[in-house]
A = this chain, B = another copy of it.
Amino acid sequence: MEKALIVLSGGQDSTTCLYWAIDRFGAEALTSVTFDYGQRHRVELECATAVADFAGIGNTCLPIDTFGALGGDALTDSNIDIEDGTDAATGLPNTFVPGRNLIFLTYAAAYAYQRNIEHLVTGVAQTDYSGYPDCREATISALQRTLRLGMESDVTIHTPLMHLSKKETVMLARDLGALPAMALTHTCYEGKRPPCGRCAACELRAKGFAEAEIDDPLTAPQ
Q: Find A110's partner among B70, B113, B149, B153 (CB 8 Å cutoff).
A: B70
Q: Is the CB of B149 within 8 A of A139?
A: yes
Q: A134 within 8 Å of B by Cβ?
A: yes
Q: Find A99's partner among B75, B133, B139, B151 (CB 8 Å cutoff).
A: B151
| Beta-carbon contacts under 8 Å, A176-204 to B | none
Q: Is the CB of A70 within 8 A of B62?
A: yes
Q: A71 within 8 Å of B by Cβ?
A: yes
| Beta-carbon contacts under 8 Å, A138-196 to B | 138-139, 142-143, 145-147, 149-153
Q: Is the CB of A143 within 8 A of B150?
A: yes
A interface residue count range (under 10 / 10 to 19 / 20 to 34 / 35 or more): 35 or more
| B-side contacts of A152, CB under 8 Å | 133
Over the window 99-115 of chain A, the binary record of Cβ atoms lying under 8 Å from chain B Cβ atoms (1 yes, 0 no) is: 11111001101110110
Q: Find A138's partner among B72, B98, B149 (CB 8 Å cutoff).
A: B149
How far is the CB of A3 from the nearest CB of chain B, in Å? 15
Q: A41 within 8 Å of B by Cβ?
A: no
Q: Is the CB of B106 within 8 A of A150?
A: no
How far is the CB of A140 from the nearest CB of chain B, in Å? 9
Q: Find A136's partner among B75, B101, B149 (CB 8 Å cutoff).
A: B149
Q: Is the CB of B63 within 8 A of A101?
A: no
Q: A57 within 8 Å of B by Cβ?
A: no
